[in-house]
């Protein structure tokens, strides 16, 4: 049998298997694209946590059935194009201003579910003022905060969240706390403010953590209906490209270095 004939036979066999209706049943489906996630290629680097975070956000929106009721605000940073991936109403905000834009949208349309999606440079550097005052006012929005310890989009500069000793393009010998300050644990800080209702830190580097992060986003939306204040979900994430690691190495590094400094779990939970 020639190579060509063998290939044809294998193709035929493959077609038989995947077209076999007894296998391709609804019960056997283990993976489906959420409706809220558009069927387009994402620009994220391979293994980047942004893609996983988008997926679970889309799944929650589908499962709560709020696709027509939700409005998102995209940041500046690698997730600047989030509106191209989520099939919902979205607005763009200038760098750092997403929570202020979300505040305006929620106040004009209080019946809608409103969230911002922001990186650490966006939320904890240029947008520190907006973030603190949004949370202090207790705006009824959900803030999703992707902390990868670096300015991803612009080429890996030091962020407020960069770990002590961690190398970046602007701290090539590692972050020196004496001259560059200590990393800002903005999530713990925001939990102190009376306006925050639910504050939690999660990650998406392992399947169990992905499920927990998804649950946290779900709670953030559910609590929004109670009008009790700001819900804040931090997701500790990776940046394989600027950390200069493979995706697997970056998740291991995250586990061993990011999580001891940014421990996972709820920081503020509703009392009633
Ligand atoms: C006013 C303003 N200042 C600076 C920039 C340049 N800039 C774009 S993205 C970015 C950092 C993004 O980092 P982060 O928010 O952590 O998002 P990531 O890319 O890591 O997800 C900066 C400084 C800008 N676009 N606008
Ligand atoms: S640069 Fe980093 S944060 Fe940005 S898409 Fe690539 S891996 Fe993700
Ligand atoms: Mg970042």
Q: Which tokens is 74 given?
A: 């995209």
Question: In this predicted model, what pLDDT tens digit does every residue of 167-213 receive, in sequence order?
Answer: 999 999 999 999 999 999 999 999 999 999 999 999 999 999 999 99
Across the range 212-241, mean pLDDT stands at 98
pLDDT above 90: percentage of residues in the chain = 88
Question: Is it the case that residue 12 has pLDDT exceeding 90?
Answer: no
Q: If you take atom 6 of ligand 2, which residue's CA is the nearest one?
A: 45
**pLDDT confidence of residue 27:** 84
Token pair belonging to 73: 């605000």
The residue ranges of every structural domain in the chain are 36-268
Condensed to tens digits (0 to 9), the pLDDT of residues 37-95 reads 999 999 999 999 999 999 999 999 999 999 999 999 999 999 999 999 999 999 999 99
Q: Which residue has the tokens 């503020």?
A: 268
Helices (H), 94-185: 98-108, 120-121, 128-137, 177-180
- Residue of the nearest CA to atom 2 in ligand 2? 239
User: Got the DSSP string for 128-151?
Assistant: HHHHHHHHHHT-S-EEEEEE-SEE
**pLDDT at residue 126 above 80?**
yes
What DSSP character marks residue 84?
A: G
DSSP label at 183? P
Instruction: Give CA separation, 242 vs 40, 152, 154, 171, 247, in Å.
Output: 24, 6, 10, 13, 11
Mutation pick for ligand 2 pocket among 54, 123, 242 (CB with most ligand atoms within 8 Å): 242
Q: Which residue has the tokens 């990868």?
A: 148
Q: How many CB atoms lie within 10 A of CB 73?
A: 27
Q: Which of 15-24, 38-47, 261-270 has the lowest mean pLDDT?
A: 15-24
Please check whether residue 142 is in contact with residue 117, taking contact to mean a CB–CB distance below 8 angstroms: no
| Residue 256 Cα to ligand 2 middle (Å) | 20
List beta partners, residue 178.
none
The per-residue pLDDT for 17 is 58
Tell me, in angstroms, the distance from the centre of ligand 3 to residue 75's CA: 11
Whole-number pLDDT of residue 10: 64
Q: Which residues line ligand 1 (CB under 6 A)?
A: 76-79, 95, 119-122, 126, 146, 148, 150-154, 159
Supply the pTM of this predicted model: 0.92
Give the CA count within 13 Å in the CB-facing half-sphere of 77: 34
97 neighbors 128 (Cβ within 8 angstroms): no
pLDDT at 25: 82
CATH superfamily of 36-268: Thiamin diphosphate (ThDP)-binding fold, Pyr/PP domains (3.40.50.970)
Q: Which two tokens stand for residue 226?
A: 């109670």
Q: Is the CB of 197 under 6 A from ligand 2?
A: no
User: Is the pLDDT reported for residue 14 higher than 70?
Assistant: no
pLDDT confidence of 128, banded at 50, 70, 90? very high
Taking the CA of residue 79 as reference, the ligand 1 atom at the shortest distance is 21
Residues 58, 53: Cα–Cα separation, whole Å: 9
Q: 140 and 227 in contact (C-beta within 8 Å)?
A: yes
Report whether pLDDT(3) > 70: no
Phi-psi region of 40 (alpha: psi -120 to 50; beta: other; left: phi over 0): beta
């Amino acid at each position: 049998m020639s190579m060509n004939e063998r290939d044809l036979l294998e193709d035929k066999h493959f077609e038989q298997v995947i077209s076999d209706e007894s296998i391709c049943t609804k019960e056997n489906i283990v993976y489906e694209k959420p409706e809220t996630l558009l069927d387009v290629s994402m620009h994220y680097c391979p293994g980047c946590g942004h893609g996983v975070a988008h997926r679970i956000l889309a799944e929650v929106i589908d499962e709560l059935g709020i696709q027509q009721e939700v409005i998102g605000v995209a940041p500046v940073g690698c997730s600047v194009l989030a509106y191209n991936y989520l099939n919902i109403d979205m607005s763009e905000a200038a760098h750092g201003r997403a929570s202020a834009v979300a505040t305006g949208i929620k106040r004009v349309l209080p019946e809608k579910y409103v969230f911002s999606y922001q990186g650490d440079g966006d939320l904890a550097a240029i947008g520190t003022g907006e973030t603190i005052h949004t949370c202090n006012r207790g705006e009824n929005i959900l803030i999703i905060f992707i902390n990868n310890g670096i300015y991803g989009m612009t080429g890996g500069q030091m962020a407020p969240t960069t770990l002590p000793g961690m190398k970046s393009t602007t701290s090539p010998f590692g972050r020196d706390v004496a001259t560059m300050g200590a990393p800002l644990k903005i999530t713990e800080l925001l939990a102190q403010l009376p306006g925050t209702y639910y504050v939690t830190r999660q990650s998406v580097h392992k399947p169990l953590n992905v499920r927990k992060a998804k649950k946290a986003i779900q709670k953030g939306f559910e609590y929004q209906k109670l009008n009790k204040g700001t819900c804040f979900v931090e997701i500790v994430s990776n940046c394989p490209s600027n950390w200069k690691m493979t995706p697997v190495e970056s998740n291991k590094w995250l586990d061993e270095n990011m999580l001891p400094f940014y421990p996972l779990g709820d920081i503020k939970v509703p009392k009633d």
